[in-house]
Chain A
Amino acid sequence: MLEVKNLKKIFNAGTINEKVALDDVSLTLSEGDFVTLIGGNGAGKSTLLNCIAGVHMVDEGQILIDGKDVTRIPEHKRAAYLGRVFQDPMMGTAANMGIEENLALSYRRGKNRTLKWGISNKERDVYKELLSTLDLGLENRLSDKVGLLSGGQRQALTLLMATLIKPKLLLLDEHTAALDPKTAEKVLKLTDKIVEEGKLTTLMVTHNMRDAINHGNRLIMMSNGKIILDITGEEKRNLTVESLLERFGKVSGEEFANDRALLS
């Protein structure tokens, strides 16, 4: 479903701030894979996601989605294949527009925008039904501005928007990191449900080891722009935080020095 070949991305090349964010990264996701991507600050997780989404153009390498080479395709055209949820709850929705207007925008992802009405009555019924599955009472607030919603509600809505049209690949960029623990858990539960029901191929970045272990069927760890661990199947199911830390130490020869990942 997703094939990433020898990706290289250098920020501020040739300056004193030069940073190799992706160093020859290759990765293949099969259809239906739910991959959690973990790593410390600056490991290159978000850069990898942004390169796949087309926010950054890569310096070298190739990105194929469902066999189609998208390496040089601009972000807004790539969006036809991708569903995205961001770390910042403000990022995924238009705050000054209504809930239904936001949903209508994503209901047309990958289609040409025309002079037809931006939202139809038939759609409203669909949105109502989908929103009621979130169990947040949003189905009765269709025309409320999204800016009135809490961070958790906005992330749940963004998740719904990202999967309204089934994406070939769902990209979740630390989408629970800005939420309080209880809300984060709810959103993660919802994520599991949506991914499972839609059989979505998913790449979820997280800095929380427990979340990375408890979700998905495959775990990838990045460090210094490289993939250093790739754990699947039985091995992934038996993983614990301790064993993961131990394996990280063996592979990288250093301690996993990231309080955020350990404490949360």
Chain B
Amino acid sequence: MLNIILGAVSLGLIWAIMTIGVYITYRILGIADLTVEGTLAMGAAIAANSISNGTNPYLATLLALLGGLAAGLATGLLHTKLRIPALLSGILTMIALYSINLRIMGRANISLLNRKTVYTPFQNIFEKYNLSTVIYPVIAVGLITVMIIVCFLYWFFGTEIGCAIRATGNNPNMVRAQGINTNTMVIVGLVFSNGLVAISGSLYAQSQNFADIQMGQGSIVIGLASVIIGEVLFGKRNFFSRLIALVLGAITYRIIIALVLMMGMPANDLKLFTALTVAIALALPMFGEYLNTIKNSFRRRNNA
């Protein structure tokens, strides 16, 4: 049981990076960016291909990051310069990435068994203490990466450029009136977001010891589910606590999934389960209003 939970935590930490990326576009910029479906697989593809060609795994992860940044830039340019709606821009890049990812890998999947990954140095450490070399190294790397990213973003969104990006998602008209190029801000946001998602994909592939062309499928929904769970369960007082809430949200999501799988739900139904969870979570405010009107009408009837 403990191992199942810890396994979920390790996966959750890796996906937390992706969740933060989704948060940047979905909550800060107000865009549902579907590029991430392709970017996650791209991160996995770049890392797996470079590692199997003998590249240092940390360098490979850095290359994956660069690939993600480029994917975000592509969507950003499609959306701002060519004025294609954000949703469609994301879909276009996502579809294009499918072919690009196949080209990067040369085939539909790459195995990383017995290759050195970012986890290898940590595996050696945990081996000495007779601890699981599957779960703990992933938790360690995930925790370090998440901490670096949370600190970086906390700093970044407090800078002049960061403030301008937040305001752009809030009220682009006002931002232009303050002399800020909103197009640039949208592009920067998309670039950062997809960079994070690619790192997540790279770490995910290395933890699973393989990369697959289908890896990104449904990732946007997982990201959204994690964002919403984080916000609902762990609050959103200030920006730092929000970032932490996102991480906890991603972990909670993985624990929920691990638990429902353990209770006997077929793994094939996972995506349906996730989609329904997100749909219900997104509809919650509407149900809330509906409940309120019913409550009020009862109250009025009782008073009469």
Chain A residues close to B by CB (< 8 Å): 53, 74-77, 79-80, 82, 84, 86, 90-97, 101-102, 104-106, 108-111, 113-119, 161
Task: Select the stretch in B132-140, B160-168, B247-255 that faces chain A.
Answer: B160-168
User: Which of A94, A109, A161 is packed against the most chain B CB atoms within 10 Å?
Assistant: A94
Residue of A nearest to B238 (CB): A143
Q: CB distance A113 to B160 under 8 Å?
A: yes
Q: Which residue of A lies closest to B161 (CB)?
A: A113
How far does the alpha carbon of A111 sit from the alpha carbon of B182 in the complex, in Å? 14
6 contacts between A and B (CB under 8 A): A76-B176, A91-B171, A97-B166, A105-B167, A106-B178, A113-B159
B158 engages A105 (CB within 8 Å): no
Interface residues of B in 150-206 (CB under 8 A from A): 156, 158-164, 166-167, 170-171, 173-182
Q: A75-B177, A79-B178, A119-B163 are in contact. List 6 more A-B contacts (CB 8 A).
A: A77-B179, A80-B179, A101-B163, A105-B180, A113-B163, A118-B159
User: Which residues of A sit under 8 angstroms from B161, Cβ to Cβ?
Assistant: 113-115
* Pair count A-B, CB < 8 A: 86
CB pair B170 A94 closer than 8 Å: yes
> A1 CA to B160 CA in the complex, in Å?
30
Complex Cα–Cα for A97 and B166 (A): 8
Q: Is the pair A76, B182 in contact by a Cβ cutoff of 8 Å?
A: yes
Chain B, residue nearest A110 (CB): B179
> Chain A CB within 10 Å — which of B163, B170, B177 has the most?
B177
Q: Assess whether B174 is in contact with A79, with CB atoms less than 8 Å apart.
A: no
Which of chain A's residues has its CB closest to B28's CB? A96
Q: Which of A77, A94, A117, A119 contacts B174 (CB 8 A)?
A: A94
**Shortest Cβ distance from residue B11 to the other chain A in the assembled complex, whole angstroms:** 31
Query: Which of A76, A102, A161 has a CB less than 8 Å from the CB of B180?
Result: A76
Q: A76-B182, A97-B170, A117-B158 are in contact. Are A92 and B164 (CB under 8 A)?
A: no
> B174 to A113, Cβ gap below 8 A?
no
Contacts of A102 in B (CB 8 A): 167
Question: In the docked arrangement, what's the CA distance between A144 and B125, Å?
Answer: 48
A75 to chain B: which residues have CB within 8 Å?
Answer: 176-177
Evaluate contact between A76 and B181: CB separation under 8 angstroms: yes
Residue of B nearest to A106 (CB): B178
Give the Cβ gap from A248 to chain B, nearest Cβ, in Å: 32
Question: Cα distance A93–B172 when bound, in Å?
Answer: 10
* Contacts A75-B176, A76-B179 given; does A94 touch B160 at CB 8 Å: no
C-alpha gap A111/B162 in the complex (Å): 15
Against A, the Cβ 8 Å flags (1 = close, 0 = not) of B113-131 are 0000000000000000000
